[in-house]
A and B are shown apart, each in its own frame.
Chain A
Amino acid sequence: MAGTLAEKVWEAHLVRRGTGGEPDLLYIDLHLVHEVTSPQAFEGLRLAGRPVRRPDLTIATEDHNTPTLDIDRPIADETSRTQIDTLRANAREFGIRLHSLGDADQGIVHQVGPQLGLTMPGLTVVCGDSHTSTHGAFGGLAFGIGTSEVEHVLATQTLPLQPFKTMAITVNGALPPGTTSKDIILAVIAKIGTGGGQGYVLEYRGEAIRKLSMEARMTICNMSIEAGARAGMIAPDETTFEYLKGRPHAPEGADWDAAVEYWKTLRSDDDAEFDAEVVLEAADLEPFVTWGTNPGQGLPISASVPVPADIADESERVAAERSLEYMGLEPGTPLRDVKVDTVFIGSCTNGRIEDLRSVAKVVQGRRKADDVRVLVVPASARVRLQAEAEGLDVIFKDFGAEWRNAGCSMCLGMNPDQLAPGERSASTSNRNFEGRQGKGGRTHLVSPLVAAATAIRGTLSSVADLDLAEDVDLTTFDGSPLDGVGAPPITETVVDLPMPVPAGAR
């Protein structure tokens, strides 16, 4: 029987098929852990006297709470410090590999997996974080889970799951200059709505998707959850293999060959049937920005703030009125006239090396608008080291931006990086919910290129608004692998990390 990519991965992980309404039991290849959604899971294990079944399929990092300044000093916020200390104690107790603040492999959990080569095609990947959908860019089934599911995976390395429906999202053609994968996904969410993907695994396909670098694909899959979908996937291809090859945990030798042979079968069959399909023409896309308080409230940057009175559907009209009141926006204002206070460049959506490179290309040799605060927060410490090796940090500092240490930072404001009440941001992150970036903060979701142009002009802008030199190529970002900052190829296992000796590792 012909199958979709999602169905193939599902079948390959079936431990036990459920009968009579009982869910299927699926094996989990990789479990990512961070400090926010894990403490109560470990507490549950301890209370039940259960061990972690597979510490060797589990990896933890500190990201949501970590400060992006003064990381060598004690964390000032007591509750943040407690969560991080709790993760460290749990990692020691249960034998989990942990990359702590200050470690070169610390960073946002969704950057750490791919960067280490742990995220591969054909895997099941879970994490107590909804943006786990990021890892689907490699052609695996990756989704966020709640804390009791975290406990379940720790204890059993499996999850009982009801099958998802499948939706194909086909993006034809080529992206116009100045648009990015972020604009594709914001356009998709604006089209199908924040509930449009509910119950589905989305598979992104088509010429425009194939042309994207690995990192750009991660941006798209990352935000699948903002359309309500459980996961997003892209079939693996040469771009995927190229990105993976030579990474610390990528298979080697015969294992690599066997893996690639299998990975090449991971595509939806030509006659596979999807439960739903959405088609977009990439050539029609413009840079997208959100104007409201959910990621589906987005428009091309050339548009104006919507006029609620013109919206026919009553619940949408009421929602728009509420959003505009919170956002402090006048209906009908051209989006390009909206002035921002802060530009945030970072997060698991757009904090990777190619995002930083694209921003650097735009801001090089310029100064930011006077009264705009610009934060650049790399997704991981490795990304930061790589950017520094390329001199991007100097470009950002000369531009007037703050160059920070890695973490989730202002994406959700669990650390000191927050918006003040009423403060307005252009943010490369993934959620513009009320209060997410700080109580009363107002968020416009944008691509890294729009963030860069906005930082220069002080109002929501695209690179088309700048007098960029003609030789600045903004159409391609190659997603060159993060090469370990000139490190030699991996020849042996390095075990000098500040991490526990695994008691039960096999």
Chain B
Amino acid sequence: MEKFTTHTGVGVPLRRSNVDTDQIIPAVYLKRVTRTGFEDALFAAWRGDPSFVLNQEAYSAGSVLVAGPDFGTGSSREHAVWALKDYGFRVVLSSRFADIFRGNSGKQGLLAGVVAQEDIEILWKVLETRPGTEVTVDLEARTATADDVTVPFQIDDYTRWRLMEGLDDIGLTLQHADDIAAFEETRASWRPKTLPAKHWPTETVEPARAVG
């Protein structure tokens, strides 16, 4: 994972609240089996609308999304983070994120910074008054700066440390493989195992057919 210290890129004001993951990437795009190439799927339902912010030239190369509250609600699909990253976003700022989305972001190197709604409004004003304005996001200082405006953002210490070190989650956990093995020794025998498989006798499932 790439290390994140500071990032500077065009800020994109997304004046919508409750942007759920179905809006970020509709379910139809979830059928892919690869990890990259989701840039075309980002905000797919809105990309056909010429007035949509990413369709305006000044914002089209944006990499810092400044969104309304409750960003990333709904389904747990990590594709939402991939789509944002594949499009080129490195940072999303909002006054409130859905838990799963925020967790997914940290794991993929997308910075999800929590900014007070009044500061979001100030950033929106700057970015809308001067389209194409760059925002500098300083993870060390936990600030976002657009022109002469600097606002603080919140991110938990652990996620910040991991982003700054570019550390892979699984590798970190496997440093504690002995603890895991020790825990497994104490696991009660009533706790379930999927193998060997047990199930009721197999029965034939008749295929349903279209009616009429």
Instruction: Check if A436 is an interface residue, CB within 8 A of chain B.
Output: yes
Is B76 positioned at the interface, with any CB of A under 8 Å from its CB?
Answer: yes
Cross-chain contact B192 with A130 (CB below 8 angstroms): no
Chain B, 178-212, contact with A by CB distance < 8 Å: what is the 0/1 string?
01100110011111111111111111110111110
Q: Are A128 and B188 in contact (CB under 8 A)?
A: no
A56, B176: Cβ atoms closer than 8 Å: no
Which of B5-13, B99-107, B122-130 faces chain A?
B99-107
Identify whether the interface residues of A are mostly helix, strand, loop, or mixed: loop
Q: Which one of B18-26, B57-65, B145-153 contacts A? A: B18-26
A499 to chain B minimum Cβ distance, whole angstroms, is 7
Assembled-state Cα–Cα distance A234/B71 (Å) = 28
* A408 to chain B: closest residue by CB: B27
The total of chain A residues at the interface (CB under 8 A) is 115
B96 on the interface (CB 8 Å rule)? yes
Q: Are A405 and B205 in contact (CB under 8 A)?
A: yes
Residues of B with C-beta under 8 A to A1: none
- The CA-CA distance from A129 to B30 in the complex, in Å, is 12
Query: CA A33 – CA B118 in complex, angstroms?
Result: 41
Q: A258 contacts the other chain (Cβ, under 8 Å)?
A: yes
A490/B200 contact (C-beta < 8 A), A36-B31, A48-B170 known = yes
**A residues lining the B interface (CB < 8 Å):** 15-16, 18, 20-23, 25, 27, 29-30, 36-37, 39-40, 43-44, 48, 50, 53, 55-59, 64-65, 68-73, 77, 79-80, 82-83, 86, 97, 102-106, 116-120, 123, 128-130, 144-149, 151-152, 155-158, 160, 162, 194-195, 198-199, 228, 230, 248-249, 251, 255-256, 258-259, 262, 294, 315, 319, 381-382, 384-385, 402-405, 412-414, 431, 433-436, 439, 484-485, 487-488, 490, 493-497, 499, 502, 505
* Contact across chains for A495 and B74 when beta carbons are under 8 A apart: no
Contact B77 A505 (CB under 8 A): no
A39 touches B99 (CB 8 A): no
Whole-angstrom distance from the CB of B65 to the nearest CB of chain A?
Answer: 18
Q: Point out the residues of chain B lying under 8 angstroms from A16, CB to CB.
A: 176, 179
Asked whether any CB of chain A lies closer than 8 Å to the CB of B141, the reply is no
- Return chain B residues, CB-CB under 8 Å to A39: 33-34
Chain B residue at minimal CB-CB distance from A404: B208
Q: Which residues does chain B contribute within 8 Å of A27, judged by CB atoms?
A: 180, 183-184, 187
Inter-subunit contact B205/A118 (CB<8 Å): no
Q: Are A259 and B199 in contact (CB under 8 A)?
A: no
Once bound together, how far apart are the Cα atoms of A117 and B184, in whole Å? 21
Which residues does chain A contribute within 8 Å of B209, judged by CB atoms?
69-70
Expressed in whole angstroms, the Cα–Cα distance for A436 and B104 within the complex equals 21
Residues A130 and B75 in contact in the complex (CB < 8 Å), given A56-B195, A57-B193, A494-B198: yes
Quick one: which of B30, B34, B209, B210 has the most chain A CB within 10 A? B30
CB < 8 Å neighbour of B170 from A37, A155, A195:
A155
Contact indicator A497/B197 (Cβ below 8 Å) = yes
* Measured CA separation A105–B199 after assembly (Å): 8
Chain A residues, Cβ within 8 Å of B103: 146, 149
